[in-house]
Amino acid sequence: MAAYITAKTWQIMKGELLSQVPTLLVSASARIHRSRYEKDSLAVLTVGAKKEIAYFRKFGRDLQPFQRLRREIYNYQPQSYLEHISSLEKFIKIAPHLLPDSDFALNRPTIRHPDLQPNNIFISDDFGIEGIIDWQHATVLPLFLQCGIPENLRNYGDKISESLQLPTLPDDFAALSEIQRLQQTELLRKRQLHYFYVKKTETMNPDHYHALTHDFSALRRRLFQHTSDPWEGGNVTLKADLVALSRTWNKIYPGTKKHAQFLSKAKSRPNIYRWNMLKWKRMSSFKNARRQ
């Protein structure tokens, strides 16, 4: 059964919870040493990878990709779980350097609805929010891992959206064919949803906006997800994330050589990132064809 909390009930609960929170926690930013939260954030960031490694050490075996569409990419050969362990261990070594440890707000424990969409929001006749359902998979994580754009609003993978440029139709829109105009109109709609969500977040929820736009925020969250999720027989996705991280390393530690060993190993497979993008494009095309 879906969890349901009305707006009124939440206000009452919030008041009761706050009344029970010790003064020490209410004034945490002033009274608690921030290293405590930084250490907790590192534990959260790496716990999924450590869990997976512990499981593989005892029960690991090579697997075909769980999703049949992906098996062709691997020539229908079982993939080595030891190779996945190697990627997880690389992530754990690099994880301490991925923390926004100079910013207490980004390390703050935060609860966020896991599937915020119109179907899960109850509104009144005058468009007031009456309640939100489907909280059963909600988690408490540091803000830098919780931030994100709801799935039905985001348009990741598009350069215009990710650079937060004001979306517009192309200059030659009138000269396009009818099908091309429909495609560009739909693309504009997706870009507008992404753009205006982020811009509204900037004014209405500055902490969330700061987390969204912090250095390599989306890549950090992808790494957390791909190291925490149960392995499904594919070794490309996580490797692609590590390669992407190596390419942005100078933004983390400008002018340093701390990444030399990591980079040398990542560059040994230079086509991994391109291969992964091609894989997702093929899968997206297949899904779109099925919908039509």
Domain assignment present for residue 134? The answer is yes
Find the domain containing 110 and state its range: 1-32+104-146
Rounded CA Rg of the chain: 22
Question: Largest Cα–Cα distance of the chain, in whole Å?
Answer: 65
What's the domain count of the chain?
1
pLDDT for position 40: 87
Contact status, residue 143 vs residue 157, Cβ threshold 8 Å? no
Domain assignment present for residue 19? The answer is yes
C-alpha–C-alpha distance, residues 223 and 48, integer Å: 10
C-alpha–C-alpha distance, residues 176 and 182, integer Å: 9
- Phi/psi for 106 (5° steps) reads -75, -20
Q: Report the range of poorest mean pLDDT among 3-17, 58-72, 127-141, 164-178.
A: 3-17
Domain assignment present for residue 118? The answer is yes
pLDDT for position 90: 95
Contact status, residue 133 vs residue 123, Cβ threshold 8 Å? no
C-alpha–C-alpha distance, residues 268 and 183, integer Å: 38
Domain assignment present for residue 114? The answer is yes
Domain assignment present for residue 251? The answer is no
Q: pLDDT tens, 212-268?
A: 988 888 899 999 999 999 999 999 899 999 998 888 877 666 655 555 455 445 444
Domain assignment present for residue 24? The answer is yes
pTM of the model: 0.73
Domain assignment present for residue 1? The answer is yes
Contact status, residue 73 vs residue 276, Cβ threshold 8 Å? no
Q: pLDDT tens, 81-114?
A: 999 999 999 999 999 989 886 678 899 999 999 8
Type of residue numbered 72: E
Tell me the Ramachandran region of residue 111: left when phi exceeds 0, alpha when psi lies from -120 to 50, beta otherwise.
beta
What is the rounded average pLDDT for all residues in the chain? 79
- What angle is formed at CA 249 by the lines to CA 246 and CA 252, rounded to 5 degrees? 150
Q: Please, which pLDDT band fits residue 272 given cuts at 50, 70 and 90?
A: very low
Q: Report the range of poorest mean pLDDT among 13-17, 188-192, 224-228.
A: 13-17
3-class secondary-structure state, position 171:
coil
